[in-house]
Structure 1
Amino acid sequence: MEYTYIDSYSAEDMHEHSKKWFSELSFIKDEQRFLISLIQSFAIKPIDKKEFSKTEEFRKDIEENQKILNPIIKQVQKHMNQLEIMIDGVNQLEMEHAYRKTHKKLFQKVNQILLDYRTIKERGFAKLSSILKSTKQKKALGNPDYQVRTVNKEEINS
């Protein structure tokens, strides 16, 4: 989903944007750590070269996104700290204009990062799910002792 920027946002609106951005970007940062761990867990399982390269692509995409994400989080944090320029009651037109200009740039950057990250996740999850499906089939087919049996009610209750 893409958002449209409005030039006449109030200081309160800009503050709410900044808080939301910081929250979303921080969540992505945490999620990326989890995803890297998840990908590493795939790497220790017996998977073929093709499947391994899929996990590596996903890991590299996340790491590239991390390189972009960290500086943006710092910029958003700095932007939040500078909000006082807009609400201090002092008439500083140049600084207020610069703050609004920065806000617009961050609005666009954060929006693009969120869209890019969503795409990375969608592609990566598709890769991981295809690996899961193929390894499940191999396990079920490759296990001669695997048998389906019915369970009696007595066995469930005991």
Structure 2
Amino acid sequence: MNTTQTHLRYVEWLNAEEMHKASKEWLSELNFIKDEHLFFEDLVTQFTSQLIALGNFSSSKEIIDAINRSQKQNNTLIEAVRIHENKLQIMVDGIDELEEEKAYIKEHRDLIIAISEFLNEYKSLKTQLFNIIKIIKKEDKSRHLLDRK
């Protein structure tokens, strides 16, 4: 918890260029995740019959729902970062608008937290999905080995 607080204090010292760079990195990562969501949809579609055959349909449905929620949250974050990027002008216009600049820094801090939480949840989702696919592939392989005998 202290690490987060220290990091949040650090945000106050970031200049406009550093915040711009962070926003660009967030957009890049979130857009990559958007592409991965499409891959996950294809993966789930490809293995739908095996997911149902596993007899664990409810957990498979939960994963699908989690992917959909993750997509929506990702799209929301992409839009929030884009809006945040467009407001960067407040920091670089040379006019001292202390309240607006404070609000921008607070928004940046809030985005740091939101994106960090999203990335942690996304990593967990990805791990769960790949574990399910790994189980399916192992069962498929053992079934083929049994069919050969």
TM-score range, shorter chain: 0.7 to 0.9
- Corresponding residue of 2:15: 10
- Corresponding residue of 2:126: 121
* Equivalent residue in structure 2 for 1:56, among 56, 61, 79: 61
* Equivalent residue in structure 2 for 1:71, among 76, 82, 101: 76
Equivalent-residue separation in structure 1 for 2:30 and 2:86 (angstroms): 17
Shift in Å at residue 142 of structure 1? 2.0
Shift in Å at residue 143 of structure 1? 3.4
**Gapped regions of structure 1 (runs ≥ 5):** 145-158
Equivalent-residue separation in structure 1 for 2:54 and 2:143 (angstroms): 15
Would the aligned equivalents of 1:39 and 1:55 in 2 still touch at CA under 8 Å? Answer: no
Tell me which structure has the larger Cα radius of gyration: 1
- Corresponding residue of 2:47: 42
**Gapped regions of structure 2 (runs ≥ 5):** none
Deviations 1:6-53 (A, max 9, x none): 121111111111001111111101100111111100015596142555
* Equivalent residue in structure 2 for 1:131, among 131, 136, 142: 136
Q: TM-score, normalised by structure 2?
A: 0.87
- Corresponding residue of 2:35: 30
Equivalent residue of 1:50, what SS? coil
**Following superposition, which runs of at least 4 residues in structure 1 exceed 6 angstroms of deviation?**
none
Would the aligned equivalents of 2:23 and 2:81 in 1 still touch at CA under 8 Å? Answer: yes
Equivalent-residue separation in structure 1 for 2:68 and 2:56 (angstroms): 19
Would the aligned equivalents of 1:62 and 1:120 in 2 still touch at CA under 8 Å? Answer: yes
Opposite residue 74 of structure 2, the aligned amino acid is L
Identity among equivalent positions (%) equals 36
Alignment of 1:84 onto 2:52 = no
Equivalent-residue separation in structure 1 for 2:38 and 2:81 (angstroms): 20
- Corresponding residue of 1:105: 110
Opposite residue 121 of structure 2, the aligned amino acid is D
Opposite residue 48 of structure 1, the aligned amino acid is A
Shift in Å at residue 120 of structure 1? 0.6
* Equivalent residue in structure 1 for 2:100, among 81, 95, 100: 95
